[in-house]
């Protein structure tokens, strides 16, 4: 009997404790439905983010762990709707709650729509209008995002990009104690992201995938893969948000020319595939600083391509008599390669059309550029057809957005100029000089170009082109 009595008291105490916990749970669940609780949660979320947070229905649960569910969440900052979230669920560690400390262990976001907007003043909407209220470090925590979309837009330039159908997983997410540094510099994590669609002006991609890691203010997206223009590109992106340094390394082994031209909204100009590669490093807090510091290399290599609706060799043969042919029309294919259409936004590509139609085989297309401080210099830019070689020299200055000494030329077997044309002025309003003929094109073109029997070469001219594209 003496042994049973303590057990009886213990069971009574345990039952009483369960009853108290049940009553507390019911009380908290009821309190969660009140306007006072709703206001406290919105206030706490707003203070924690340093932005205005509003939420719809709230729910509080305790099994299997304490968790809070918010529906129809809206985040507003600097007068802009930064984000909308269909559902937010936060699970908390149990023991810290007894000390009135909320320590999240998992964060689930569903139906997230995030807007990263840069205003006329150059400030992003995600920059907190008020400092966060929390004074502690957080983590580790798991973050899961489903059915998300992210959009970037610049009010000043009109630039935009959007990713939809995104999912993300972040593991071991930690934030260091606030110490005056921006939040991005105090976060560490590892994870991955995948998006079904990526859109920008004259660009559409699919199946974006990237591994993500962060620590010490350095974010690494590696490896990155993306399907675009009928090909898969792979590479990496590193961003140091302490020093504001960026490096991009990206390659597309087989870019479909026809698909690229079609997706850019241009008429069909060619067929075949090319290899694209970019390696760029830059530093700066705004577009001007980034462009001014950009350095690295860009290249576009292709073999056995076909130019549709244009008989280049035939046009060049008639060049001396017609005086209507523009070498820059063909040179546009060079600088529209590795630099996209950034330097040709003022150029009318519909001009690239011969008098009699036809096709032109381009046996080798090479477009290598060296970039230093925002200026791209042609390193080896040329192409060869059945009977001609064309080459380009000069610079594209992206700081002033102007052509700098750009010349397109037809060259003989020794690289000497047969005919040339210069282009100058701004990217938006390029100025094309009249073509200059330095040697007659009436001699057999095959002999002139391939056998090196041009009189200019015999007189010891200075070679305009000495790169790796040889006569066909």
Inform me whether the pLDDT recorded for 111 exceeds 50.
yes
Residue 446 is predicted with a pLDDT of 41
Considering 40-54, 157-171, 331-345, 379-393, the range whose residues carry the highest mean pLDDT is 157-171
Q: What is the pLDDT of residues 116-151, one digit of tens each?
A: 888 777 677 677 666 666 677 887 999 999 999 999
- Residue 116 near residue 151, CB atoms below 8 Å: yes
Residue 424 has phi, psi (to 5 degrees) of -140, -175
Give 465's pLDDT tier (boundaries 50, 70, 90): very high
Q: For residues 87 and 73, give the distance between their C-alpha atoms in angstroms, rounded to a whole number.
A: 7
- Residue 100 near residue 81, CB atoms below 8 Å: no
For the record, the structure tokens of 348 come out as 């009318």
Q: Which DSSP string corresponds to 283-316?
A: E-SSHHHHHHH-EEEEEEEEEEEEEET--HHHHH
Nearest by Cα to 465 from 432, 418, 424, 433: 418
Query: pTM of the predicted model, to two decimals?
Result: 0.79
- Residue 213 near residue 223, CB atoms below 8 Å: no
For the record, the structure tokens of 101 come out as 């400390």
What does the pLDDT average to over 427-455?
59
3-state SS class at 14: helix
Residue 60 is predicted with a pLDDT of 80
With vertex at residue 430, the alpha carbon angle to CA 159 and CA 203, rounded to the nearest 5 degrees, is 30
Helix/strand number for the chain, H first, E second: 9, 22
Residue 7 is predicted with a pLDDT of 54
Q: Which DSSP string corresponds to 173-232?
A: EEEPPPSSS-GGGGEEEEEEEEEEEEEETTEEEEEEEEEEEEETTEEEEEEEEEEETTEE
Q: What is the C-alpha end-to-end distance of the chain, expressed in Å?
A: 108
For the record, the structure tokens of 385 come out as 């057809």
Under 8 Å CB-to-CB from 98, ≥6 apart: which residues?
none
Under 8 Å CB-to-CB from 444, ≥6 apart: which residues?
none
With vertex at residue 462, the alpha carbon angle to CA 459 and CA 463, rounded to the nearest 5 degrees, is 110
Nearest by Cα to 149 from 105, 78, 208: 208
Residue 340 is predicted with a pLDDT of 44
Inform me whether the pLDDT recorded for 281 exceeds 70.
yes
Q: What is the pLDDT of residues 94-108, one digit of tens each?
A: 777 767 777 889 999
Q: For residues 30 and 10, give the distance between their C-alpha atoms in angstroms, rounded to a whole number.
A: 30
- Residue 297 near residue 285, CB atoms below 8 Å: no
Considering 25-39, 185-199, 262-276, 383-397, the range whose residues carry the highest mean pLDDT is 185-199
Q: Could you tell me where the DSSP H helices lie in 323-422?
A: 327-335
Considering 70-74, 178-182, 401-405, the range whose residues carry the highest mean pLDDT is 70-74
Q: For residues 337 and 330, give the distance between their C-alpha atoms in angstroms, rounded to a whole number.
A: 12
Give 65's pLDDT tier (boundaries 50, 70, 90): confident
Inform me whether the pLDDT recorded for 322 exceeds 60.
no
Buried b or exposed e, range 271-300, using 16+ CB within 10 angstroms:
bbbbebbbbbebbeeeeeebbbbbebebbb
Residue 23 is predicted with a pLDDT of 44
Structure-token match 């005919």, residue found: 419
Residue 354 is predicted with a pLDDT of 46
Q: What is the pLDDT of residues 204-225, one digit of tens each?
A: 899 999 999 999 999 999 999 9
Residue 324 is predicted with a pLDDT of 59
- Residue 379 near residue 368, CB atoms below 8 Å: yes
Considering 52-56, 78-82, 83-87, the range whose residues carry the highest mean pLDDT is 83-87
Q: For residues 272 and 254, give the distance between their C-alpha atoms in angstroms, rounded to a whole number.
A: 9
Q: 10 Å Cβ neighbour count for 452?
A: 15
Residue 309 is predicted with a pLDDT of 65
What does the pLDDT average to over 23-37?
55
- Residue 371 near residue 298, CB atoms below 8 Å: yes
Where residue 243 falls (left for φ over 0; alpha for ψ -120 to 50; beta otherwise) is alpha
* Of 20-34, 63-77, 225-239, 322-336, minimum mean pLDDT range: 20-34
């Amino acid at each position: 009997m003496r042994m049973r009595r303590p057990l009886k008291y213990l069971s009574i105490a345990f039952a009483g404790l369960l009853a108290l916990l049940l009553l507390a749970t019911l009380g908290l669940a009821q309190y969660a439905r009140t306007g006072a609780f709703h206001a406290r949660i919105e206030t706490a979320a707003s203070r924690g983010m340093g932005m205005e947070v509003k939420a719809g229905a709230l729910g509080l649960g305790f099994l299997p762990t304490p968790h809070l569910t918010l529906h129809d969440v809206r985040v507003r900052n600097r007068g802009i709707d930064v984000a909308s979230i269909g559902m937010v669920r936060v699970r908390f560690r149990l023991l810290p709650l007894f000390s009135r400390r909320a320590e999240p262990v998992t964060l689930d976001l569903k139906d997230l729509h995030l807007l990263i907007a840069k205003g006329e003043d150059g400030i992003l909407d995600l920059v907190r209008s008020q400092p966060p209220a929390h004074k502690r470090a957080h983590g580790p925590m798991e973050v899961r995002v489903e059915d998300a979309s992210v959009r970037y837009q610049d009010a000043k330039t009109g630039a935009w990009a959007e990713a939809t159908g995104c999912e993300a997983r972040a593991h071991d997410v930690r934030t260091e104690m606030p110490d005056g540094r921006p939040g991005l510099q105090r976060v560490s994590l590892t994870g991955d992201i995948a998006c079904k669609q990526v859109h920008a002006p004259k660009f559409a991609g699919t199946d974006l995938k990237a591994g993500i890691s962060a620590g010490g203010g350095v974010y690494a997206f590696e490896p990155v893969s993306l399907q675009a223009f009928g090909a898969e590109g792979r590479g990496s992106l590193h961003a140091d948000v302490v020093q504001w340094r960026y490096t991009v390394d990206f390659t597309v082994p087989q870019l479909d020319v026809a698909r690229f031209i079609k997706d850019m909204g241009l008429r069909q100009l060619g067929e075949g595939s090319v290899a694209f590669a970019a390696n760029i490093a830059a530093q700066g807090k705004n577009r001007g600083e980034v462009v001014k510091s950009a350095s690295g290399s860009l290249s576009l290599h292709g073999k056995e391509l076909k130019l549709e609706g244009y008989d280049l060799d035939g046009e060049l043969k008639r060049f001396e008599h017609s005086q209507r042919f523009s070498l820059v029309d063909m040179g546009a294919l060079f600088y529209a390669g590795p630099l996209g259409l950034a330097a040709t936004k003022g150029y009318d590509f519909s001009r690239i059309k011969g008098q009699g139609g036809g096709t032109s085989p381009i046996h080798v297309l090479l477009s290598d550029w060296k970039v230093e401080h925002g200026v791209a210099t042609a390193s080896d830019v040329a192409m060869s057809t059945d009977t001609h070689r064309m080459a380009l020299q000069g610079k594209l200055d992206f700081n002033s957005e102007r052509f700098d000494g750009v010349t397109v030329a037809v060259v003989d077997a020794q690289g000497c100029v047969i005919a040339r044309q210069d282009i100058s002025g701004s990217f938006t309003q390029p100025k094309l000089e009249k073509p200059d003929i330095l040697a007659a094109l009436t001699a057999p073109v095959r002999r002139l170009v391939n056998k090196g029997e041009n009189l200019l070469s015999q007189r010891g001219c200075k070679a305009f082109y000495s790169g790796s594209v040889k006569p066909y």
